A and B are shown apart, each in its own frame.
Chain A
């Protein structure tokens, strides 16, 4: 089967810094791929490069058989890519409802998706009128994921969903993401290896801006030396 997303030998510069020095990955439709690696390895930059927020200087990004690396980022997102950034980037002055509504690409998107969204995150329905800055960290994370679900996205880029959250909330998020993975394709960046291993089927390890290893998550779990070498004691 054709991959939904394919990243081929991408090089990205931020200012004068050569951040990505050759990242390649391939993501099958309907699967979950975890992007692993140490802090500062270039995982977040990889997501931003796919979205065109930090456009690549070299290499190709193919989404649904279409090259997207030369498009502007709003065009890329409109192809059907949802982004859940690391800092959640909830719009503080917008209410929860507006935070969802702004993600509509067609009129009525939110109404059609509200069953799915409030099914996954019942809390949000209760908080719908509150401004974004009144939410707790976990609620913000749920809202950030929900926002990516409003439009008809074929791919979700989720960056560090569990960072800085309480274990109870992490449990909830894992359940939600697992439920989502049944229907859409997910590229997940996750520091927490235990969480990543529960969610993803495949993995790619990034080290110093290069993708160095890829394979099945099931194999990685038994590959102590690799885990030790690239991810530290996990």
Chain B
């Protein structure tokens, strides 16, 4: 009993805030008809789930690495574009697989490269110079080889080959996958060998740069065979995909939209993880001791990513059709029961008088909850999770225990970016895809984190939920109006008030609880 009283007294500000927020929610609900508040609540969950995917990754990265990854919104957007491409243009995706594999093969040999680089003695000035020369050479080789590699018709500048055109066709269900592009003039073997060589050079030069940074301590090489086997396997996959391009494309397209959607989500997640580990090891790692620089570099990265996406995808906005399993209308739809959703794959379901979209308001929140639980288990129950929790508090001590914290850094960065791209992929069909989607999302996520507590994982969930609730209730009241006692006509909050309302909530909460709802002061 005593400890309960102590708990209540210690957390009284938090508890009072929670009660007030809850009462506000009740008041907001009471002001609506049942069908209105049900749909609004569910929409809030949908927004909250996507916000949480971005916010939790951001907060994990900030907590352990002290890096404010301002590129997180741009990476969220990348997830959506990648998923869209895999989903709508599996042919292009498969055609891209070959050069990607050949390029990546060199990185499978990284341990071998860093061993060689540490062995490569010679003069200091030479050791400084050769990685840059290697990079330059790799750049030239790759420029030629990659340009000569034909990617299945995709040209943002030509109307009939523009991604946007395919988007329109896909929406109307009349998309025909075009014939694969063929090599013109150059020998395929030569071009592919060029990409492979470029990848090898790139990986070797990068490891040379890394090696110079880490002081050039000679490392021991254990068993080069697994790496060599990995290298050969990756090359083999690339070549096989090239040889069997047409049957593979036909097979993948025949899988139908449900499987393609699943593949798209998984690919987006994987791309995020790979991008994350690459960004951390190349751009962020050299700058850990200079926080302002990491801020600048992630900010710059986000601008670069947005422009790259514009250049590659051409048009700034796409729609992404929902997979068939969530997209049946007419007939028995909208469904009225839970079983009906599964039987008829309806896009909407009637529930308590409101029409709920299955994908947006049921599927996305469900994935959000699954990720919430999954990451929580990872953090609480695994060794890497323990190292992350310990590292958030005291990195130096973790290192002093003989643990390579830098590996945990890379892991967390990759995981955080993976969560963002997963969020982008999931948000594609519900929010629509545009180059601006990242900006609004990172703002949402930052506000959610400020409300919940910057480095608190449950805080990210609570903050996202509050952001979703406030936004959706304001939007709904913008449609139906609030009857205020001293006004004749109902007050209708205008759309610009939506972002303003979350900022206002953040300001109020930070005034009362400076570390956010569940945050703790960093010591």
Residues of A within 8 A of B (CB): 51, 53, 70-75, 77-78, 83, 85, 89, 91-94, 98, 101-103, 105, 147, 151
Contact = CB atoms under 8 A, between A and B. Distances in A.
Contact of A151 (B396, B399, B402): B402
B507 to A, nearest CB: 28
A98 B383 CA distance: 9
B508 to A, nearest CB: 28
B404 A93 contact: no
Given A70-B217, A74-B405, A91 B397 contact: yes
A101 B400 CA distance: 14
B386 A74 contact: no
A53 B400 contact: yes
Interface of B: 214-215, 217, 383, 386-387, 389-390, 392-394, 396-405
Q: Is the interface of A mostly helix, strand, loop or mixed?
A: loop
A160 to B, nearest CB: 15
Contact of A74 (B392, B394, B402): B402
A102 B387 CA distance: 7
B402 A94 contact: no
Contacts of B214: 72
Given A70-B215, A70-B217, A89-B394, A94 B400 contact: no
A102 B396 contact: no
Contacts of B387: 102
Given A101-B386, A102-B386, A102-B387, A91 B401 contact: no
Contacts, number: 60
Contact of B399 (A74, A92, A103): A74
21 contacts: A70-B215, A72-B404, A74-B400, A74-B403, A77-B399, A77-B400, A77-B401, A77-B402, A85-B400, A89-B396, A91-B394, A92-B393, A93-B389, A93-B393, A94-B389, A94-B390, A98-B390, A101-B383, A102-B383, A102-B390, A102-B398
A70 B216 CA distance: 9
A105 B402 contact: yes
Q: Is the interface of B mostly helix, strand, loop or mixed?
A: helix
A147 B401 contact: yes
Contacts of A89: 394, 396-397
B400 A83 contact: yes
Nearest to A104: B383
B458 to A, nearest CB: 12
B333 to A, nearest CB: 48
Nearest to A89: B397
Contact of B397 (A78, A85, A98, A101): A85
A75 B405 CA distance: 11
A188 B260 CA distance: 63
Contacts of B401: 74, 77, 83, 102-103, 147, 151
A58 to B, nearest CB: 14
Interface centre among B392, B394, B398, B401 (most CB of A within 10 A): B401
A73 B401 CA distance: 9
Given A74-B400, A94-B390, A98-B386, 16 more contacts: A53-B400, A71-B217, A73-B400, A74-B399, A74-B402, A74-B403, A75-B402, A83-B401, A91-B389, A91-B390, A92-B393, A93-B389, A94-B386, A102-B383, A102-B398, A105-B402
B378 to A, nearest CB: 15
A89 B397 CA distance: 7
B402 to A, nearest CB: 4
Contacts of A102: 383, 386-387, 390, 398, 401, 403
Contacts of B404: 72, 74
